[in-house]
Amino acid sequence: MFHWYRLVGAASDGARVLEPDGVLASLVPATPERAVINAVLYRRPDALAAAYEELETAYAGIGASWTVWVPPGDERAAALLRARGHVLDAEPAAMARALEPGAIERPAQEALPDWRRNGDLATLGRLNDASYPFGDDSFSRGLRRLPDGAAHIYLANSDGEPEGCLATIDHEGNAEVQLVAVLPQARGRGVAGKLLAHALADAAERGSRSTTLIATKLGLPVYERAGYRALGRFQMWERARAAA
């Protein structure tokens, strides 16, 4: 996740990464309303406490809502954030599985006849914007560019039109899965699971030995069927931006 948010912190105009000791924050002024993009990770609760005022000032400076990812069981950080006005917004599951070459079975060709592994970032953003209930274009605004080769983007199409997507990000032998989305009208046909199988098979062939992701309630059964196991639940403590 640290690697992913470093990428997010350089993916749009004006975006940057703030890294006090033991803390990483992505500051994305292109999407001030989207806390999952303006997000903080930390190594130790004392590091979060020491950096809090600097983080608070930085996010106020861009007028952004922001969230802090709190690992399972860290009551100390949760208490700090509650006292500072953050609200518990979600508790997604951290999940992982091992990868070995040849261990991932690809779907039959007829199961997902139209897919590609060289998708573009613009389509990835549009599908995420259309698949989640935010009702805006925040993913498209926040994800304008990534370094060459930083992400492998997978698209599933129907009648020539994209209907599902995901990205994998290789880092130190791990394939992080991000930005999984399927249009509401295309759900229930296993699109995400089939596309994920192709992505994981490719990741194993590239040499990744593990894969991780953060699962929403909707995605959890998809990932369980793909062999992922839950490691615990993160808490996302959000602080809303000040009213205009």
Sign (positive or negative) of CA dihedral 211, 185, 155, 105: positive
104 with 200: CB under 8 angstroms? yes
CB 141 within 8 A of CB 117: no
Say how many residues make up the chain.
244
* Tokens read off for 71: 């690992």
| Alpha-helical runs (H) found in the chain | 2-8, 45-61, 75-83, 121-131, 138-142, 191-206, 220-225
Contact 25, 61 (CB under 8 A): no
pLDDT of res. 168 = 98
- The pTM assigned to this predicted structure is 0.95
Going by their DSSP bridges, the two strands 174-182 and 210-215 should be labelled as parallel
Dihedral, CA of residue 66, residue 72, residue 73 and residue 77, to nearest 10: -20
147: Cβ contacts below 8 Å, ≥ 6 apart = 7
pLDDT above 90 coverage of the chain, percent: 96
Q: Which CATH number fits domain 96-231: 3.40.50.170, 3.40.630.30, 3.30.200.20, 3.40.640.10?
A: 3.40.630.30
Q: Is the pLDDT of residue 101 over 90?
A: no
Q: Quick one: pLDDT at residue 243? A: 64
- The pLDDT assigned to 102 comes to 86
User: What is the Cα gyration radius of the chain?
Assistant: 18
Give the pairing type, strands 152-158 and 229-233.
unpaired
pLDDT in tens, 27-37: 999 999 999 99
Dig out the tokens for 156 from the structure.
């599933």
pLDDT tens digits for 24-78? 999 999 999 999 999 999 999 999 999 999 999 999 999 999 999 999 999 999 9
Burial of 57 (0-12, 13-18, 19+ CB in 10 A): exposed
Please report, for the chain, the start and end positions of each structural domain, with discontinuous segments joined by +.
Answer: 2-93+234-239, 96-231
Average pLDDT score over the chain: 96
Residue 244 has what pLDDT? 54
